[in-house]
């Protein structure tokens, strides 16, 4: 049986980390695509030389030619620019929208059967645009944000409760970052919901509120510490978990930016919700009843995504 093929479009900080993780896990052969000349080939060669030491067999190739992503089973997209000082959100949107157009067309022409995971920001709008430009079925194009946001939340909760991170689950809805909606009732330690843990004296509502706030600003905290660029280890790990669930048909239940068609009262938008990822891509959207507060928080996310989509449509008439 032929190995799977993983195409990484964007070979920057996240792209390089994705390649490293995918190789270490022997997920398949890996193509690193970037418009930067030489750099993807350099990373591919460097990583290939880790193979004999680590004992993995994966063919790695760096390229600037879309033909090399032909037949990819999974495409993970990080291509684009991150925000720099002096840039408005509209500037970022305009640049990355053009990048999504080129990437979408590259995917359409070369690997229309792939499962596509978008990471490029602003995530919820870029994944929608990438789907439009690629023309792939909605269940085969998904955005990574929820796994990362919930991982940040789980890390902080595990520290607060002084328990293994493995035993902490978190349930988040909504857009990436500031508009994320954590649902404490569905976030647990070994199945015990957080509100029960508060009653048991393990923590306080105030501490939980502070953790939610820190999680929402989690990306910014890392940007400020790094001084240049944004988080890349945890974002890459999160996307790899989604890719593995697809390739191994694991049917993991993971939060992701998925295309809604009426669920949660939302139509034709990508928003973060729990989904089942298996061999069919996004096989199911998990819809839970929301209380008043969660519904309000979710609506804020939806409004923010809608606003971004309107801006995208204004910038590219083919999307209108």
15 annotated as belonging to a binding site for a ligand: yes
Q: List 115's β-bridge partners, or say none.
A: 74
- Could you tell me if 260 and 269 are in contact, meaning their C-beta atoms sit under 8 angstroms apart? yes
Among 8-16, 131-139, 188-196, 302-310, the segment contacting ligand A3D (CB under 6 A): 8-16
- Could you tell me if 155 and 165 are in contact, meaning their C-beta atoms sit under 8 angstroms apart? yes
Contact between 93 and ligand A3D (CB under 6 A)?
A: no
Long-range contacts (CB closer than 8 Å, 24 or more residues apart) made by 228-235: 229/13, 229/82, 230/13, 230/82, 231/148, 232/13, 232/14, 232/17, 233/17, 234/148, 234/151, 234/152, 235/14, 235/119, 235/144, 235/148
3 state SS of 177? helix
Report whether the peptide linkage leading into residue 122 is cis, meaning its omega lies within 30 degrees of zero. yes
149 annotated as belonging to a binding site for a ligand: no
272 annotated as belonging to a binding site for a ligand: no
| Binding map of ligand A3D across residues 21-40, x = CB under 6 A, - = no contact | -------------xxx----
- Could you tell me if 32 and 60 are in contact, meaning their C-beta atoms sit under 8 angstroms apart? yes
Contact between 255 and ligand A3D (CB under 6 A)?
A: no
Q: How far is the CB of 186 from ligand A3D (least distance, A)?
A: 21
Residue 176 falls in the annotated catalytic set:
yes
Give the tokens for residue 103. Answer: 């990437």
Contact between 80 and ligand A3D (CB under 6 A)?
A: yes
User: In angstroms, rounded to a whole number, what is the distance separating the alpha carbons of residues 40 and 64?
Assistant: 8
User: In angstroms, rounded to a whole number, what is the distance separating the alpha carbons of residues 314 and 231?
Assistant: 30
**121 to each of 67, 88, 272, how far by Cα in Å?**
25, 13, 14
Of 6, 8, 14, 129, the residue at the interface with ligand A3D (CB under 6 A) is 14
| Binding map of ligand A3D across residues 222-251, x = CB under 6 A, - = no contact | -------xxxx--x----------------
- Could you tell me if 75 and 116 are in contact, meaning their C-beta atoms sit under 8 angstroms apart? yes
252 annotated as belonging to a binding site for a ligand: no
Q: How far is the CB of 21 from ligand A3D (least distance, A)?
A: 13
Contact between 309 and ligand A3D (CB under 6 A)?
A: no
Q: Binders of ligand A3D among 116-145, rule CB under 6 A?
A: 119-121, 123, 144-145
Contact between 156 and ligand A3D (CB under 6 A)?
A: no
**Could you give the residue numbers annotated as active site?**
176
Query: Which residues of this protein are in contact with ligand A3D, per CB under 6 A?
Result: 9-15, 34-36, 78-80, 82, 99, 102-103, 119-121, 123, 144-145, 148, 176, 229-232, 235
Binding residues for substrate: 83, 89, 121, 152
Binding residues: 10-15, 34, 83, 89, 96, 119-121, 152
């Amino acid at each position: 049986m032929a190995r799977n093929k993983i195409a990484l479009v964007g070979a920057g900080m996240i792209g390089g980390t994705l390649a490293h993780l995918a190789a270490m896990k022997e997920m398949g052969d890996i193509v690193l695509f970037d418009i930067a000349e030489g750099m993807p080939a350099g990373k591919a060669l460097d990583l290939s030389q880790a193979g004999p030491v680590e004992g993995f067999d994966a063919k790695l190739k760096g390229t600037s030619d879309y033909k090399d992503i032909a037949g990819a089973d999974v495409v993970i997209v990080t291509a684009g620019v991150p925000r720099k000082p002096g840039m408005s959100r509209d500037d970022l949107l305009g640049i990355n929208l053009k990048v999504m157009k080129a990437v979408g067309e590259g995917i359409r022409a070369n690997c229309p059967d792939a499962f596509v995971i978008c990471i490029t920001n602003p995530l919820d709008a870029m994944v929608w645009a990438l789907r439009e430009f690629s023309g792939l079925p909605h269940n085969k194009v998904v955005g990574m944000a929820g796994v990362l946001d919930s991982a940040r939340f789980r890390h902080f909760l595990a520290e607060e409760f002084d328990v293994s991170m493995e035993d902490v689950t978190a349930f988040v809805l909504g857009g990436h970052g500031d508009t994320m909606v954590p649902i404490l009732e569905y976030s647990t330690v070994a199945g015990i919901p957080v509100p029960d843990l508060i009653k048991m004296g393990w923590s306080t509502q105030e501490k939980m509120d502070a953790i939610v706030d820190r999680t929402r600003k989690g990306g910014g905290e890392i940007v400020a510490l790094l001084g240049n660029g944004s988080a890349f280890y945890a974002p890459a790990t999160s996307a790899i978990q989604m890719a593995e669930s697809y390739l191994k048909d694991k049917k993991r239940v993971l939060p992701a930016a998925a295309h809604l068609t009426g669920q949660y009262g939302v139509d034709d938008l990508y928003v973060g919700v729990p989904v089942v990822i298996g061999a069919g891509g996004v096989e199911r959207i998990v819809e839970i009843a929301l209380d008043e507060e969660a519904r309000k928080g979710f609506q804020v996310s939806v409004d923010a995504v809608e606003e971004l989509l309107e801006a995208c449509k204004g910038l590219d008439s083919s999307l209108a």
